[in-house]
Amino acid sequence: MIRINENYAKLKASYLFADIARRVGAFASAHPDRPVIRLGIGDVTEPLPPACVEALHAAADEMSARATFRGYGPEQGYGFLRELISSHDYAERGCRIEPDEIFVSDGAKCDTGNIQEIFAKDIRLAIPDPVYPVYVDTNVMAGRSGPAAGARYEGILYLEATASNGYVPAVPDAPADLVYLCFPNNPTGAVATREQLAAWVAYAARNKAVILFDSAYEAYIRDPAIPRSIYEIEGAREVAIEFRSFSKTAGFTGTRCAYTVVPKTLVAWDGAGRPQALHAMWSRRQTTKFNGVSYPVQRAAAAIYSEAGRRQTRGLTDFYLGNARLIRAAMARLGLPCVGGENAPYIWVDVGRDSWEFFDLLLERAQVACTPGAGFGRCGEGHVRISAFNSRENVETALDRIGAALA
Ligand code: PLP
Contact between 179 and 211 (Cβ < 8 Å): yes
Nearest CA to ligand 1 atom 11: 109
Distance between Cα 364 and ligand 1 center (Å): 30
Does ligand 1 come within 6 angstroms of the Cβ of 114?
Answer: no
Nearest CA to ligand 1 atom 8: 42
Statement: residue 14 has pLDDT above 80: no
Considering the entire predicted model, what is its pTM?
A: 0.97
Percent of the chain at pLDDT > 70 equals: 100
Mutate to test the pocket of ligand 1, among 191, 212, 247, 290 (most ligand atoms within 8 A of CB): 247
Q: What is the pLDDT of residue 19?
A: 86
Task: Please state the rounded mean pLDDT for residues 91-120.
Answer: 98
Does ligand 1 come within 6 angstroms of the Cβ of 257?
Answer: no
Q: Which band of pLDDT confidence, cut at 50, 70 and 90, is reported for residue 336?
A: very high
Task: Please state the rounded mean pLDDT for residues 294-320.
Answer: 98
Question: Prior bond to 35 cis, omega within 30?
Answer: no
Task: Please state the rounded mean pLDDT for residues 392-404.
Answer: 97
Nearest CA to ligand 1 atom 5: 186
> How distant, in Å, are the alpha carbons of 210, 243, 386 from that of 187?
23, 17, 9
Mean pLDDT score across all residues of the chain:
97
Q: What is the pLDDT of residue 17?
A: 83
Does ligand 1 come within 6 angstroms of the Cβ of 42?
Answer: yes
Task: Please state the rounded mean pLDDT for residues 188-214.
Answer: 98
Ligand 1 atom closest to Cα of 110?
16
Distance between Cα 299 and ligand 1 center (Å): 21
Distance between Cα 243 and ligand 1 center (Å): 9
Does ligand 1 come within 6 angstroms of the Cβ of 186?
Answer: yes
Residue 223: CB atoms within 10 Å: 9
Percent of the chain at pLDDT > 90 equals: 96
Q: What is the pLDDT of residue 15?
A: 67
Q: Which band of pLDDT confidence, cut at 50, 70 and 90, is reported for residue 41?
A: confident
Say which range, 37-46, 248-257, 268-277, 337-346, has the weakest mean pLDDT: 37-46
Mutate to test the pocket of ligand 1, among 132, 249, 371, 389 (most ligand atoms within 8 A of CB): 132
Q: Which band of pLDDT confidence, cut at 50, 70 and 90, is reported for residue 407?
A: confident
Mutate to test the pocket of ligand 1, among 243, 245, 249, 253 (most ligand atoms within 8 A of CB): 245
**pLDDT per residue over 352-380, tens digit each?**
999 999 999 999 999 999 999 999 999 99
Spatial separation of the C-alpha atoms in residues 252 and 60, rounded to whole Å: 17
Distance between Cα 132 and ligand 1 center (Å): 8
Spatial separation of the C-alpha atoms in residues 150 and 377, rounded to whole Å: 10
Task: Please state the rounded mean pLDDT for residues 395-399.
Answer: 97
Does ligand 1 come within 6 angstroms of the Cβ of 321?
Answer: no
Q: What is the pLDDT of residue 184?
A: 98
Distance between Cα 258 and ligand 1 center (Å): 9
